[in-house]
Amino acid sequence: MELRKINRQDAFSEWQFITELPAEENGVENSHHGISFEEYVEKVLPKIMSYEHPENMPDWFVPETVYYLWDGDMLVGEFRIRHHLTEALRIGAGHIGYSIRKELRGRGYGTAGLKLVLERAREIIPEEEIFFRVRKDNIASQRVLEKNGVYVSGEDDEHLFMRIRK
Ligand SMILES: CC(C)(COP(=O)(O)OP(=O)(O)OC[C@H]1O[C@@H](n2cnc3c(N)ncnc32)[C@H](O)[C@@H]1OP(=O)(O)O)[C@@H](O)C(=O)NCCC(=O)NCCS
């Protein structure tokens, strides 16, 4: 299994993933559900790739790198690392977001992918701890986090806030 940064060579598999992923699931939003391959290649892919080194973006925008998890030649899921916290991210979505393709869930990919992503995140993120937010009813994601050593640091009505030391 390996992580590959989003790139042009893998565009077809990346598009299949993003167009199939629901528009909203467990608080994870996907504004690209159902888009065409042409639109993905011409507009969406360049835009997402630019987020790693953003130009002409508002002050609040935090650089973000998107990785895909591959098992051999099969793309299984997506992991996003926001490079640092803002006040909104600290009390909100945190540093890392992820999704695994629906038909491939429950096979250990989420857990294995997060382990690899944490290695990358430790090289990027300046804060002492890596922050996550998960819905209280999202037991699968909580298991993925717990199995990677991420602990519960707080909660609100709907979410657990979780962290791991770098
Ligand atoms: C959360 C998610 C990434 C988990 O990926 P996954 O590849 O299925 O995870 P794993 O196979 O590594 O399973 C992790 C654990 O969750 C458990 N699990 C999986 N689906 C479950 C479900 N519906 N209910 C309860 N537990 C579940 C597994 O049994 C496993 O626990 P175990 O090792 O104790 O048996 C995936 O469900 C997903 O993409 N969900 C939609 C997006 C999302 O919620 N992202 C996270 C936002 S915080």
Q: Note the helical H segments in 6-106.
A: 11-20, 37-39, 45-50, 87-90
| Ligand 1 contact, 47 CB (< 6 A) | no
Task: Give me ligand 1 centre to Cα 98, in Å.
Answer: 11
Strand ranges in 101-165 using DSSP code E only, listed in sequence order: 129-135, 151-155, 159-165
The residues, ordered by sequence, that sit 6+ positions from 59 with a Cβ below 8 Å of its Cβ are none
Confidence of residue 109 (pLDDT cuts 50, 70, 90): very high
CA 144, CA 148: separation in Å to the nearest integer? 6
How much distance in Å is there from the Cα of 100 to the middle of ligand 1? 9
Q: Is the CB of 21 under 6 A from ligand 1?
A: no
Full set of structural domains in the chain with CATH: 2-165 (3.40.630.30)
pLDDT by residue (tens digit) across 34-52?
A: 999 999 999 999 999 999 9
Residue-wise pLDDT for 52-74, tens only, equals 999 989 989 999 999 999 999 99
Q: How far apart are CA 156 and CA 124, in angstroms?
A: 28
Mean pLDDT of 81-102: 97
Ligand 1 neighbour 126 (Cβ under 6 A)? no
Q: What is the value of pTM for the model shown?
A: 0.95
97 alpha carbon – ligand 1 mean position (Å)? 13
Does the pLDDT of residue 27 top 90, yes or no? no
Cα 60 to ligand 1 centre (Å):
31
Amino acid letter at 14? E
